[in-house]
Amino acid sequence: MLGELEISVFAAALIIDRDGILAEKACEVLGREATLRGDPAAVAVRLPGAAGFRAEAVQNAALSYRYVFAIAPDEIVDDSVLITIRCTSPDWPAADRMLRSLRVLTRSGRVATHAEFDEGPLLPVVPPRRG
């Protein structure tokens, strides 16, 4: 197995401090996924139709690379999407393709889009911890 991708929805009031809530959720879930030294940092990301934060770590396990995305569409909503990726290498191409295929629907049923979506890789290399 090269990896696994898990998608779930979580409720969050995104009207106040949207970025803070999404960054906190990504770090919280990563803390449950991996043994961390210090506080994890979340970085801003854009996916097709949504934006949010990604936290990442390397765990001593069969699927050692862990990525957690907490994302939401730009319009005001009460729910967000949580994506957890566990994989054997830092740049699992299948996960990158699955993330790029994600489409977020708005309340009106239309697909949300971002004109400024970055075409670069979504799963950057995470250097392994030493020690």
Q: Note whether residue 38 is domain-resident.
A: yes
pTM value > 0.85: no
115 located within any domain: no
DSSP 3-state of 29: helix
Q: What does the pLDDT read at residue 126?
A: 42
> For 31-43, what is the mean pLDDT?
81
Count of structural domains, the chain: 1
3-state secondary structure of 42: strand
pLDDT at 65 over 70: yes
Whole-number percent of the chain with pLDDT over 90: 26
In a domain, 71, yes or no: yes
Is 82 inside any structural domain? yes
Question: 56: domain range?
Answer: 3-101
